[in-house]
């Protein structure tokens, strides 16, 4: 595929025209190179998720769904013609895929939804089940676009034209199929003639804010200022941002929210300066089975991401230990509201999130 295309011309995650491949943007190469990867093998798809070639909670959910469909198609090619054996093989691969990253609940959510669709057709032939998986995966993708748009519309109600917004990591279009979650109100606002000034934390250690958020917002023509993570307090103290919005990888039933490491610190700073702190997340990120943040598994990543990555030479001696948690949990007491596709949940979150989930059930 052409590397001269603009990011905004494409969905972050899709199914190839032939229907044989999961297509993703290799986000590890951004912003220097816009390259698309066509993936079909289980190991390649899992590697792409683990290495953050595709990342962001909703995007890895959609990638896993489309990925599972192409894996099922591959099983047909390998000759799995008996349904029980086909489903068994698919289940093993689905679990392996879902374990690639533990914190973002969207990954397990999408895999479980695909396996439920497959299991509900246990009386059918593998070809029929595979066709159903194709439809389900595309449905999950289409829903993501719609859901993010609705998050944007709800989110826009708490913003005003001309204001400053601070965000962390990338909860943008690159973290979803289109629109993003934290960025959705910004994009929808832009469609409606709003002009925002966005501050993007660079987001150590993998620089999603620098490489991805500032890239996608700048390409979309949105005023974006990149700052190092340790500059956020100064920006908020200066009054340059009136609202903080981030995404989430898992929201517990009491509102505690796991998101990229550094989010908790940002929420504490926002509270100190009396600035509203919002989480923008689809209901697929809300995990009512997790009572509070202490039950959320936090992914730990290799120390070399801190020690050597991005540097021309190592910036720490090999003897130095490293601690590299990928996410932290922001206490619900620090969160002003959780913006979902069914409206904004406000404290007390146990009740308001339950109400949001009820609205979702009624619609389904």
Options 34, 57, 87, 241; binder of ligand MRU; rule CB under 6 A: 57
Within positions 287 to 306, which residues make up the interface with ligand MRU, using CB under 6 A?
A: none
Q: Tell me the residue number closest to ligand MRU, measured at CB.
A: 247
Q: 11 an active-site residue?
A: no
Marked catalytic residue, from 73, 144, 201, 249? 249
Tell me the CA distances in angstroms from 302 to 45, 138, 313, one per residue in order: 20, 33, 17
Both structure tokens of 210: 């620098």
Position 52 contacts ligand MRU (CB under 6 A): yes
- Phi-psi label, residue 264: left if phi above 0, alpha if psi -120 to 50, beta otherwise: alpha
Position 338 contacts ligand MRU (CB under 6 A): no
Options 98, 104, 270, 279; binder of ligand MRU; rule CB under 6 A: 104
Position 58 contacts ligand MRU (CB under 6 A): yes
Comparison of 102 and 126: residue with beta carbon closer to ligand MRU: 102
Tell me the CA distances in angstroms from 103 to 47, 57, 58, one per residue in order: 16, 9, 12
Stretch that binds ligand MRU, among 29-37, 53-61, 69-77, 158-166 (CB under 6 A): 53-61
Q: Describe the strand order of the beta sheet including 164-167 as a list of residue ranges.
A: 223-227, 197-201, 164-167, 243-246, 277-280, 337-340, 343-345
Q: Which of 184, 186, 166 is nearest to 239 (CA)?
A: 166
Options 260, 279, 293, 342; binder of ligand MRU; rule CB under 6 A: 260
Count helices and strands (H / E) in the chain. 12, 14
Q: How many residues bind ligand MRU (CB under 6 A)?
A: 20
Query: What is the smallest separation between the CB atom of 326 and ligand MRU, expressed in angstroms?
Result: 5
Position 352 contacts ligand MRU (CB under 6 A): no
Position 232 contacts ligand MRU (CB under 6 A): no
Both structure tokens of 73: 């198609």
Within positions 168 to 207, which residues make up the interface with ligand MRU, using CB under 6 A?
A: 169, 171, 175-176, 180-181
The H or E element spanning position 88 is: helix 83-98
Q: Which of 151, 211, 145, 192 is nearest to 173 (CA)?
A: 145
Catalytic residue numbers?
249
Q: Which residues bind ligand MRU (CB under 6 A)?
A: 52, 55-58, 104, 169, 171, 175-176, 180-181, 208, 246-249, 259-260, 326
């Amino acid at each position: 595929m052409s590397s001269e295309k603009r990011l905004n011309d494409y969905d972050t995650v899709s199914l190839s025209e032939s229907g044989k491949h999961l297509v993703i943007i290799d986000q590890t190469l951004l912003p220097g190179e816009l390259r698309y990867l066509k993936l079909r093998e289980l190991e390649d798809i899992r590697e792409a998720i683990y290495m953050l070639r595709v990342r962001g909670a909703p995007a890895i959910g959609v990638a896993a769904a489309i990925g599972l469909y192409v894996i099922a198609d591959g099983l047909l090619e390998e000759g799995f013609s008996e349904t029980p054996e086909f489903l068994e093989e698919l289940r093993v691969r689905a679990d392996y895929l879902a374990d690639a990253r533990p914190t973002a609940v969207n990954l397990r959510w999408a895999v479980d939804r695909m396996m439920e669709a497959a299991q509900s057709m246990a009386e059918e032939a593998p070809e029929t089940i595979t066709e159903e998986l194709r439809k389900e995966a595309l449905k999950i993708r289409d829903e993501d676009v719609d859901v993010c748009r609705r998050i944007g519309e709800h989110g826009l109600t708490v913003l005003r034209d001309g204001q400053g917004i601070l965000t962390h990591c990338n909860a943008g279009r690159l973290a979803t199929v289109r629109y993003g979650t934290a960025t959705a109100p910004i994009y929808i606002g832009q469609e409606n003639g709003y002009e925002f000034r966005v501050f993007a934390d660079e987001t150590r250690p993998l620089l999603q804010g620098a490489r991805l958020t500032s890239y996608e917002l700048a390409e979309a023509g949105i005023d974006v200022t990149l700052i190092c993570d340790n500059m956020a307090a100064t920006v908020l103290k200066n009054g340059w941002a009136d609202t903080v919005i981030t995404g989430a990888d898992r929201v517990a039933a009491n509102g505690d929210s796991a998101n990229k490491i550094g989010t908790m610190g940002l929420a504490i700073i926002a509270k100190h300066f009396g600035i509203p702190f919002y989480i923008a997340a689809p209901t697929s990120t809300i995990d009512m089975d997790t009572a509070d943040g202490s039950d959320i598994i936090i992914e730990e990543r290799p120390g070399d991401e801190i020690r050597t990555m991005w540097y021309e030479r190592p910036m720490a001696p090999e003897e130095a230990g490293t601690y590299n948690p990928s996410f932290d949990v922001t206490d619900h007491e620090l969160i002003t509201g959780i913006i979902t596709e069914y409206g904004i949940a406000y404290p007390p979150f146990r009740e308001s999130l339950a109400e949001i989930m009820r609205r979702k059930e009624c619609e389904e």
